[in-house]
Amino acid sequence: MTDNRLVPVSGKQMVRVFRKIGYTVVRQKGSHIIMEKGEDLLVIPNHDQVAKGTERDLIRDAGLTVREFNKLLKK
């Protein structure tokens, strides 16, 4: 497996990674966790497994590459 491949992650794992780069949880509405960093917002589904397209979009919106995300996930 290369570092550039998306690995299946849960919403909680995504929140953990985004906290490492400065995002904070603002609120939760239903099964969606809203995080912010300055004026940037991320809406993360709190599911057991986030859909691949959603995962890729959130990683991109946070300003990360898949490789950077995977490194932060392993820490």
Name the band, by pLDDT with cuts 50, 70 and 90, for residue 2. Answer: low
Give 10-52 pLDDT, tens digit per residue. Answer: 999 999 999 999 999 999 999 999 999 999 999 999 999 999 9
The CATH number of 11-74 is: 3.30.920.30
Alpha-carbon gap, residue 45 to 58, rounded angstroms: 10
SS3 63: coil
Query: What CA–CA distance (Å, rounded) separates 33 from 42?
Result: 8
Please tell me the distance from the alpha carbon of residue 58 to that of residue 18, in angstroms, as a whole number.
10
